[in-house]
Structure 1
């Protein structure tokens, strides 16, 4: 790439070898160089083949013809479930090639898979806990939250908004939740760091309540060593007082997101607890098969699909009640299909 072909941007590792990192190859591919694109595609396909196509059949239970995962309830800091042997929470969804793996997960004959997932649940929790009027109103109206954010930030009308403007707002919305830096946002959007820094500054000017939430959360975590979900569950960050500034900064960023991700984890667990009783009460035979963070997957007979989806949505959307009455409505997208990819 850099020796024979003389492509630009080459840098060497500590061992003196040319670096072929994913980011470097992606940058070269974006500039129109053909070989780096082929290498990136080859790496992705070999990863899919070794991790899923070759490995998953080995986990099929001969008695049930199904793959059975194991869940750990207390393995993550925020309270999300984790899955292992095999991990069914990391089946690809972001790329067209990756999504083909999901087509292998099919319903039994005469049945459908129903996928129900929370729409933008962490942003909804943020709007609730940080009391952000614009976001609360947008969610109440069922508006496109990323378009609303873009309109607020860039003074662009929602009608006829260019997709690139919305994409940038989406990256900022989700990035802020995870405590993204100007450097991180610049890399994600392929823009100069100064421009990314200006975006973040403008975001906080438009949504001052979010900056207040971030500062209050960090201060609380520093004082007490933990943060709480809206249900009162504590998530501990003892190293937030560490002498090493990078360790402190990492724990501060983690605490900001923990309240949101932890609350989302509590909500879906509450939904799972109430789901079986609700389905039985409605005399439905649907079975819950899988939880993938904000998504629940069920299997139900064809004849009961239309009756099952409203029950599933109602239980998931009302899961915080009666413990917490949220000021922002939760919304669940649910679809049925023969395989997991088409249902999602």
Structure 2
């Protein structure tokens, strides 16, 4: 698998080497990573991490200092949605945010948070859909017609197949999923897919 984004954030934020990362420091970085995208306040982060508000505010300030591109993305996205009432994924799919034009300040703030999140989750949705659309034909072409795609769970696909085909199926499924953005979009960060075979979904995790 690729680099653990929460551990990498923790390393940058708290000056802890990756090979010395403890679970609590990573947990704090994870809360900051997700909280920032959803516009969390120092008050909200303090409550979530069980720390005082001043410390939480310092975490948020440090985060934007270490990752200025995230602040730039958030500001640019807010400007875009205010001007156009919509944002787009990297594939060009438009996502309309009606709340941005609400008379309610709280609803407009919700619209800003939704706009920041939509291109990210929207692109992930686009990618998994592209993989799902290509998968049946790819499996058929690879001589794996007995491998059946059962369902999607967020960014995960669940398949069923005879046990003797599992290893070959994993190779083909990973190939299709990791290349799903192409040729429309060449991602600068490669997609890395983890795949496991087991007797049931629970055991596969």
TM-score bucket (shorter structure): over 0.9
Post-superposition shift, 1:144?
2.6
Post-superposition shift, 1:283?
0.6
Residue 149 of structure 1 pairs with residue 9 of structure 2: yes
Cα deviation code 1:67-119 (max 9, x no counterpart)? xxxxxxxxxxxxxxxxxxxxxxxxxxxxxxxxxxxxxxxxxxxxxxxxxxxx8
Q: Find the aligned partners of 2:177 and 2:45 in 1 and give their Cα distance.
A: 32
Residue 258 of structure 1 pairs with residue 106 of structure 2: no
Q: 1:337 aligns with which of 161, 175, 198?
A: 198
Q: 2:187 aligns with which of 313, 321, 326?
A: 326
Q: Find the aligned partners of 1:333 and 1:180 in 2 and give their Cα distance.
A: 30
Post-superposition shift, 1:172?
1.2
Show the 5 A alignment for 1:48-67.
Answer: none
Structure 1, unpaired ranges of 5+: 1-118, 120-141
1:179·1:257 contact (CA, 8 Å) conserved in 2? no
Show the 5 A alignment for 1:7-46.
Answer: none
1:152 counterpart SS class:
helix
Looking at both structures, which has the greater relative contact order when contacts are Cα pairs under 8 Å and sequence separation is at least 6? 1
Post-superposition shift, 1:291?
0.5
Q: CA RMSD in A?
A: 1.3
* Between structures 1 and 2, the one with greater strand share: 1
Q: 2:141: which partner in 1?
A: 281
2:95 counterpart SS class:
strand
Residue 271 of structure 1 pairs with residue 131 of structure 2: yes
Q: Find the aligned partners of 1:295 and 1:338 in 2 and give their Cα distance.
A: 17
Post-superposition shift, 1:203?
0.3
Residue 176 of structure 1 pairs with residue 36 of structure 2: yes
Q: 2:163 aligns with which of 293, 302, 324?
A: 302
Residue 249 of structure 1 pairs with residue 109 of structure 2: yes
* Between structures 1 and 2, the one with greater helix share: 2
Q: Find the aligned partners of 1:293 and 1:315 in 2 and give their Cα distance.
A: 17
Post-superposition shift, 1:231?
0.4
Q: 2:64 aligns with which of 200, 204, 208?
A: 204
Post-superposition shift, 1:163?
1.9
Q: Find the aligned partners of 2:39 and 2:167 in 1 and give their Cα distance.
A: 40
Q: 1:317 aligns with which of 178, 187, 195?
A: 178
Structure 2, unpaired ranges of 5+: none
Task: Give the TM-score normalised by structure 1.
Answer: 0.58
How many residues align? The count is 204
Residue 238 of structure 1 pairs with residue 98 of structure 2: yes
Q: 1:164 aligns with which of 24, 28, 37?
A: 24
